């Protein structure tokens, strides 16, 4: 048997402390499976949050983290159709991206267009798909809508602003620093920066006027969520898709605003609920947009899989300068 490397979590906690690298023997490939040699792996906030144990009911220990990676089909089982060795794919549906190889079924492999390089392909699934689905299918943005986006200087925040602009919408973009504000240069947004004396969510109330907002896109949670809810019009939408603060939304939000349409969006739930053909069709649209630069992701640092501890310590800073990528040495 050939030995390979994988990162594994056997106990929840800070990723740079609990994720360990180990060797494991590659088993024989099942007839209905595809073996992918992974070449680039993203480190996303959702990975770090999962490793921390925020969602223990959805995560069984031990596990190999990594929701997003790209690789080359190296071997196909005898019953597999539609994929051949040498094709580039993104294996989705389960975690397991932080390893040398991943085995999965062909229908969970998204074909990567030739126009998309590995670095962008490794970031073309989680954030772009989430942003695309939330703006196109959930919020159904249209020209003139009034929206706010938290953590707008993050990779997905910038994608949401970009997609909103494409629909004729100028959002209120909430950011935590001047560095985050600079990430929105060239986009059309009203930027609100956190200040020591007032969070951006509080400043938003003074900016929107009596009409209120149609939609809030929030990936922070925590005590600012009720402030954001107060900015929504009657029956407005609160779309919550992340927990960067590490603190859940206070129950007072629903007590004070029972009229709101609250949506908790998880890409994983959408992916497992839709027909597989629909998943492939949406990804093809999203990948084409990423290849054209509409939802590109900046990469600030690259590490080999063997440097996983250093890579995670870097990623835990949550810098807006770009993502940390695990690549082949």
Examine the pLDDT at 328 and tell me if it is beyond 90: no
What predicted TM-score, i.e. pTM, was given to this entire model? 0.92
Write the DSSP symbol of residue 195.
B
- Give ranges for CATH 3.90.180.10 in the chain: 3-123+297-327
CA–centroid distance for 167 within its chain: 21
Give the pLDDT confidence of 218-269 residue by residue, as tens digits. 999 998 999 999 999 999 999 999 888 878 899 888 889 999 999 999 999 9
CATH architecture of 3-123+297-327: Alpha-Beta Complex (3.90)
Give the pLDDT confidence of 50-71 residue by residue, as tens digits. 999 987 778 899 999 999 999 9
CA separation for the pair 266, 282 (Å, rounded): 16
Helix or strand holding residue 31 (H, E): none
- Give ranges for CATH 3.40.50.720 in the chain: 129-267
Mutual orientation of helices 155-166 and 126-133 as an angle, nearest 10°? 40
Please list, in sequence order, all residues whose beta carbon lies within 8 angstroms of the beta carbon of residue 36, skipping any fewer than 6 positions away: 71, 72, 73, 74, 89, 91, 101, 102, 103, 104, 109
Superfamily of 129-267 according to CATH: NAD(P)-binding Rossmann-like Domain (3.40.50.720)
Give the pLDDT confidence of 264-321 residue by residue, as tens digits. 999 999 999 999 999 999 999 999 999 999 899 999 999 999 999 999 999 999 777 8
């Amino acid at each position: 048997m050939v030995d390979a490397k994988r990162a594994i979590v056997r106990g929840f906690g800070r990723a740079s402390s609990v994720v360990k690298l180990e060797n494991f023997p590659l088993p024989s490939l099942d007839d209905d499976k595809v073996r992918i040699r992974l070449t680039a792996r993203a480190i996303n906030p959702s990975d770090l949050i999962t490793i921390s144990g925020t969602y223990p009911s959805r995560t069984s220990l031990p596990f190999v983290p990594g929701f997003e990676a790209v690789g080359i089909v190296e071997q196909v089982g005898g019953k597999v159709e539609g994929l051949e060795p040498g094709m580039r794919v993104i294996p989705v549906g389960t975690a397991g991206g932080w390893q040398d190889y991943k085995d999965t079924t062909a229908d969970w492999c998204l074909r990567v267009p030739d126009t998309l390089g590995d670095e962008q392909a490794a970031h073309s699934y989680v954030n772009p798909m989430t942003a695309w689905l939330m703006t196109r299918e959930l919020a159904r943005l249209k020209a003139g809508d009034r929206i706010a986006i938290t953590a707008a200087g993050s990779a997905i925040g910038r994608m949401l602003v970009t997609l909103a602009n494409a629909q004729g919408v100028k959002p209120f973009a909430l950011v935590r620093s001047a560095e985050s504000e600079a990430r929105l240069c060239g986009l059309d947004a009203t930027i609100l920066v956190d200040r020591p004396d007032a969070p951006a969510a509080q400043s938003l109330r003074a900016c929107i006027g009596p009409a209120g907002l149609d939609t809030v896109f929030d990936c922070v949670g925590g005590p600012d969520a009720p402030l954001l809810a107060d900015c929504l019009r009657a029956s407005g939408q609160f779309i919550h898709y992340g927990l960067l603060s590490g603190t859940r939304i206070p129950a007072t939000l629903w007590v004070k605003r029972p009229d709101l349409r609250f949506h908790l969006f998880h890409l994983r739930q959408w992916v497992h609920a839709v027909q597989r053909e629909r998943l492939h069709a949406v990804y093809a649209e999203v990948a084409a947009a990423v290849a054209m630069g509409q939802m590109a992701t900046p990469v600030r640092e690259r590490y080999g899989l063997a440097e996983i501890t250093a890579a995670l310590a870097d990623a835990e800073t949550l810098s807006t300068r770009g993502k940390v990528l695990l690549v082949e040495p």
